[in-house]
Amino acid sequence: MALPGSHARVRWPLSVLVVCALAGGLFAAASVTSEGTDLRPAGGDVGSLLKERAARVERGRAEARSLQADIDALSKRETGGSLDKLLDRVASLQQATGLTAVKGPGVRVTLTDAPRSVDVPGLDPNVLVVHQQDIQAFVNALWSGGAEALTLQGQRLISTTGIKCVGNTVVLDGVPYSPPYVIEAIGDVGSMNAALQTSPEVITYREYVDRYQLGLEVETVDGMKAPAYAGTVSLSYATALDPDES
């Protein structure tokens, strides 16, 4: 008894062979059309030779069109449209995971350290600079506001992106960046701005803007672009140590 699904696994290789055979026919048709590399007629009436050559070329093109139509029809018939659905699904997942470029209206947030002229006796100097948690607060608020794509310093952010603070710089995927820190989010502008107004962490940052002159600028951009994520998407996991190997 055949295993479930075995029929589909047999049909697909056969269809691939047929498509390859038809593609070979296309190659042969192209070869006939090109007629090799001899561009000079061997003799006879030039007008008649040109007419004959034109007729051969047209027959070759017609055969190529016919074979291409057969390939297209066979592909649709054998896959039952499942291939197109699969490709659409892949494209959708690529956009959701940040693997494709996105363009649209969005919100740009610029964060900067307080001016060096700010001097408050007894105040921790770290309060006057932008930290990882400040950037993360705005990023999280924009995500919660429905951002479809986010970038920091022009680099696409995805679910596994790590933002770290090292000294007075922020490290993104191993690359250090200095302020100003520019966050761009593409999506529903109204929803994202509302999220920035209600986020407790963002509200706290705004208080420091008013009190200690930390820099904050929020603006709307009509034609914002977010590049596709160019880093690695592979994940590594910790595993339990084998007692025998300890």
| Helix axes 132-144 and 189-198, enclosed angle (nearest 10) | 130
Q: Where are the domains of the chain?
A: 10-35+45-80, 98-226
pLDDT of residue 131: 92
- How do 149-152 and 215-226 pair as beta strands? unpaired
Q: Please report, as a single letter, which amino acid is at residue 117.
A: S
> What CATH number labels 98-226?
3.30.70.1880
pLDDT of residue 50: 58
pLDDT of residue 62: 79
88: tokens are 């659409």
pLDDT of residue 162: 81
Q: Name the stretches of the chain with pLDDT < 50.
A: 1-12, 14, 18, 22, 26-43
E strands along 18-154, which residues?
Answer: 102-112, 149-152
